Structure 1
Amino acid sequence: MSTLAIEPLAAPPDAVVTVPGSKSITNRALVTAALAEGPSVLAGALIADDTEAMTESLGRLGVAVTIDRASSTVTVEGTAGRIRPGPIEVDARLSGTTARFLLPLLALGEGRYRLDGAEPLRARPMGPLVDALRRLGAEVVDEG
């Protein structure tokens, strides 16, 4: 395995990034924007069931998200990694990316959170992610 050094930015970036119409990339951008401080505008975002599962879940966690379907633009008011304290339940529906990206985000919060989804999602493997979060000190209970 090689090592990659990541240097901190000297100043906040001032950039415009156009997100391709991909649910996976859109969900990654949504979580990144939620973790950032202040507003982010995602242009060219794919608005689909998976990304709506993510935006609704982020909203429940206290992240303001506005969707403009006509322009495929999503505005996210980042919370600098602070989410609303639990108890909160979020529904990932059938979205594997939503479930996998939200689980570590929930570990940042205070209180209890319940991440659920449709039956097919519940059958998908989450063990390695859960194990990694537990090793980092998160308390994760698998309900089934």
Structure 2
Amino acid sequence: MTDPASLPYRPCAGVMLMNRDGRVFVGQRIDTTLEAWQMPQGGIDPGEDARTAAIRELGEEVGVGPELVTLVAEAADELFYDLPPELIGKVWKGKYRGQRQRWFLLRFDGEDADIRIDTAHPEFRAWRWVEPADLPHVIVPFKRKLYEDVLAAFAGHL
């Protein structure tokens, strides 16, 4: 088996989508039965910049186009998380040990009816708005520190 420490991190972009009430979008992944929620995120394609990837992922996962969001902030640094040992070698074709992510805080300028998780390739089976402080408590445990870091990066805007 490959030593996890020798594997690279998958380049990724993440979106903290905040509504007018200061609450944050979370979706429940369609591919798990866990009661775990997450913010929209996904891989950065070759030649794509992180902000473009974030907007693309938001459309692919939540059905929200760029005309319905306003950029509020971008995290100053990349944020990282490692997969738990039992998932290394099983996800992303075994090529990565975790993710390195660029995070963007976007204000949602639309209405709840504009959110459409029934996209061409659905990733979420349910969605809701949560208080930012609740984010670390609704995410899978191995991403808790990452979500705490995202909250810290955007603390001045929440």
Normalising by structure 1, we get a TM-score of 0.25
Structure number with greater CO (CA < 8 Å, separation at least 6) is: 2
Question: Which structure shows the higher strand fraction?
Answer: 2
Q: TM-score, normalised by structure 2?
A: 0.24
